[in-house]
Structure 1
Amino acid sequence: MALKFLSLIFVGLLAGFVSLAVESAEGPQAALDSVLPADQPDLTWTYVPPAVFLNDIVTLSFRSSETPSLVHYPRGSRLQSGDDRGAWNLVLPAAWTQGAQSIAVRVGNRDYWLHAQLPGSQDGDFAYDAASHRLHRNGDPVLLVAQRRDLRADRRYRMLRQWRPASPQQIPRLHWPAAAAWGTSPLLQALPRWREAMREDSAADRLFIIDYREWLVGWDPAALAATLTWLVAEARSRDHRPWLLSPLADQQRADEMAMLQEVMSAVAQDLGVRVYTPKGFDRPAFWEVSAGVIGPWLNADGRQDFARWLSHTFNLEVAPPDAGWLP
């Protein structure tokens, strides 16, 4: 009887140890499963420029957990394995949007899409993703595609340039850049809002304000030129008349953003669009928030003088925002 009782105790202890072992083995895994997403992405885009020119060969980069394949793509596209494990390049031929305006890369059983956005296109909207600092459509990256056109070398457009007005014919609609964290692009963040405004409103003169903080983004000059070209073409495709306002900056920042000014000037000459450059706003008196301390935007005196310039130049009665951009 005593032996049977001891056997029961032993069996109970053994069952307890087994249960404890199973619980300790399953517990951390269950906690881990609750933290990790159920569907980890198999493909992550690592390089997608915001905009490209139509006739350029485009190279995009991504990382993939498995060997990818192209399932929807223009003829001439190809995948190249990178130097690192899991790194891949997607190479698109010149004028690739004539073959397909959306591309799908398949990894496992899932397709990952990338969409081209041509000026004037009615096919889908896009938004700005603050996490990746990219334009996207329902989570898929969007690539703005602009057409390079040098009006100076094209005789067909000489007559059009002669008849194109040198200044707005009516009070222009003013488009301020979007609020952006330092090192991110106010232009890219504003594009969806600007595009929506142009789609909803009737034809008008439109003045787009480019912020000096664009030079902090580390733009590739070609990508910046393609983005500005796309903006001008988008406006014209909807019968608007676009104008650009050169960035306002204090003297030190004005010297540092030479690349930004050069790109804007080149785009303006190629497309025959005027860039307005207000004079005298680089004075320290318009930027100082205290003696010798330069603020991130025009101070009260600077904003007041800028409002007078807008009124004199465009007959615009508007108060510039305190931060230089709109949320």
Structure 2
Amino acid sequence: MVGHFVQQTVNALTIGSIYALIALGYTMVYGVLKMINFAHGEMFMLGAYAAFLALSLMVGDVGSAGALALTVAFFAAVLATGFVGVGIERLAYKPLRSSTRIAPMLSSLGVSLALVAAIQILAGPQPRAFPSFFPNERFEFFGGSLTTIQIGILIASFILMGGLQILVTKTRIGIVVRAVSESRATAQLLGINVNRSISMVFFVGPLLGAAGGILYASYYGVMTPTMGAVVGLKAFTAAILGGIGSIPGAMLGAFILAAVEVAGTALLPIVSFGTLGTEYRDVLAFAILILVLLFRPAGILGEPVSEESMVYKREF
């Protein structure tokens, strides 16, 4: 019993850390532009394909890539995806900033479909085997097991999440981005380059999403052009659960969602006497989204928005 609990905890932490990296992109964009970027899940997918392409160009046979090639491919892929995110913002979202909120959201849906179609044309629609970015060794403890792949994913994810927290709270860039999120008009009057700040958000968010995509593909050993669809929606659910617009909330929501998903995967066949299998675990994630929207739309760490606060923050 203890070993089973330990194993499920390790699995939840591993999956939750990947969800958190993606959820942070959703919450950052919403925090600054009050926009849901539905193309963010495709940044997750692009990260995996960009890393695969980089490895192919460097070593040919991706399965024989060494530690140096894997490291270079990781950083090249996340940086390239970050710049793609900036380009998408400039072309598809910036011209619509003065429009209603629905316009950029619909634009993001179009970008999402276009990216999936482009990858299907260029790389093919079939799944591809993805190399592990970490050595695969297993350690037994307390009746459970922990692999070096899981250790690597946890370390990489927490370094990236910690780096983002430092960037937002301790640096000038973070102060500027937070000022823009409070009021773009006021920030512009204070001499802040609003466009550059928004570009930074669209660079960092896709960068983290791409890192999540590489870690996810490395963990499961496969990548597909549509891998960002369901995982992206789960990360969006995590951002809503924790409180969209809140960076700590996105992280918290991701780990809670992963814990529910892992526990549900283990318990569904038992409580349903075999009627429901592990394939129904996605239902739990979207059930959580519905419940949160019904009973606490602001999320766990989000701030409820009242009419008075909307009037107070309105830009005249």
Normalising to structure 2: TM-score of the pair? 0.24
Larger RCO: 1 or 2 (CA < 8 Å, sep 6+): 2
CA radius of gyration, larger in: 1
By percentage of residues, which structure has more strand?
A: 1
